[in-house]
Amino acid sequence: MYKVAAASEYLVITGAWINDLKIKKKAWILPGQKCTVIDLSPVNYTFQVQAMSAEKLPFVLPAVFTIGPRDDDKEALKKYARLISNHDKNSSHVMETVQGVIEGETRVLAASMTMEEVFKGTKEFKKEVFDKVQLELNQFGLIIYNANVKQLVDVPGHEYFSYLGQKTQMEAANQAKVDVSEAKMKGEVGAKMRDGQTLQNAAKIDAETKIITTQRQGEGKKEEIKVKTEVKVYENQREAEVAKANAELAMKKAGWAKEAQVAEVEATKAVALKDAELQKEVERMNALTMTEKLKADYLSKANVEAETKAQEANWNLYQKQMAADALLYQKQKEAQAVQAAAEAQLFARQKAADGEFYTKKKEAEGLMALGQAQGSYLPALLDSLGGDYAAVRDYLLINGGMYQEIARTNADAVRGLQPKISIWTNGGETAGGPANAAMKEVAGVYKMLPPLFKTVHEQTGMLPPKWMGTLPAEDYQPK
């Protein structure tokens, strides 16, 4: 069966294939499952809470709480579905549960406050009740949408709020009378104060008018004197400028005369001497008139020197900056070169390590192949020799040059001793002639074979072939 919940409802599904419960807006209800519809609409609960203040004064707190399931939290909905949903929201069970939480928290809070604090701090008291009740209702998956705490009511036989209201009323009436008297007094005093302030302000304005008039006249005279002074200064400046222009004109005329005289004096040597005398005299005569020009020249020279020094400083700074940039560039290139060398060395090491690894790998593969080949070769050799282990061993020793190595080792050992062997003979043993001597040498060789076979047997465990001889029984030790 497929079910869909209304806008203010949820489906609570339990049963087969569901561990605890599942909350959905729409779902298929399978066989073995049970579906319950829960309504999320809030409900108003009205209470008359009997409480007592810190002074042990009882009072009644009328309150209306709008409470409903929390729909924005799945876990809270599960708590509500598990604990409350099987009861009607208006049932006595739900009513008693909510009322017990609200009355308990309200009484605890009221017991910690005086009656004056409860009466004057209704807003704070309401907020404290709201927060504490909400904290307890969270365990049921409920939320307070609205809480309205009405006016506190006296318990029959305890008219505290009535007396408190009468006290407040009388205090308001007395305060009103005082306010009327104070207003009347302020009106009469204010009228007198306004008249006095009017006279004072009039006198003050007359005095300020006279002061301002005098100040204006003085400022006018000051401005007149200032204008005359500025005119005189301007006239003096103009006269100085005219004198300066005349001096410059005189200097220019003197320069021109000097140049003419120099040109004439250069014609002859006699004129040159006279020109020098005249030039000295001219310079002495023009010294006074050239004072201003010299000042201007010195100022220009100082400016030029200052600009020159500034340019030199800028040039030095530029050279230092270029040197610093060049040094920085060189350091960067050196660092890059070091880094490139390090990278090349690292690459070479990596390649060498790869080559060594490849060599070791190939050697290992060769050893494995050799081992596999020998593993196949030895069983085949043993089969071909009829399973005779001694024959296989003898063949491997002979094929591997073991006897030659043993003979070489023994010879090296004897050579290291450097034996000195002397053979003495009187010639009697060679009576049979050269043939007998040769046979004697052969016989000596055969005499050496038993000790050689014994040595080989001791070192390798091998016996000589049957056609070459046998070892004595006391020397034969099978291995």
Task: Express each pLDDT in 326-380 by its tens digit.
Answer: 888 888 888 888 888 888 888 888 888 888 888 888 888 887 887 777 777 778 8
Kindly state the tokens that stand for 47: 């209470």
The whole-number pLDDT of residue 4 equals 92
| 141 φ, ψ (degrees, to nearest 5) | 75, 25
The whole-number pLDDT of residue 441 equals 63
Structure-model confidence comparison of residues 415 and 382, the more confident one? 382
Length of the chain: 479
The whole-number pLDDT of residue 475 equals 56
Nearest C-alpha neighbor of 94 from the set 55, 130, 126, 137 = 137
Most confident of 292-306, 348-362, 412-426, 462-476: 348-362
Percent of the chain residues past pLDDT 90, beyond the cut:
1
pLDDT tens, 260-316?
A: 777 776 767 766 677 777 777 777 777 777 766 777 676 767 777 777 787 888 888
Please state whether the predicted TM-score (pTM) of the whole model is above 0.85.
Answer: no
**pLDDT at position 47 over 80:** no
Across the range 164-172, mean pLDDT stands at: 72
Cα dihedral angle (30, 36, 42, 48), rounded to 10 degrees?
-160
Residue type, 65: F
| 17 φ, ψ (degrees, to nearest 5) | 65, 10
Q: In what order do the strands lie in the sheet with 22-24?
A: 22-24, 9-15, 33-39
Q: How far is it, in rounded angstroms, from Cα 99 to Cα 110?
A: 16
Kindly state the tokens that stand for 276: 């020098």
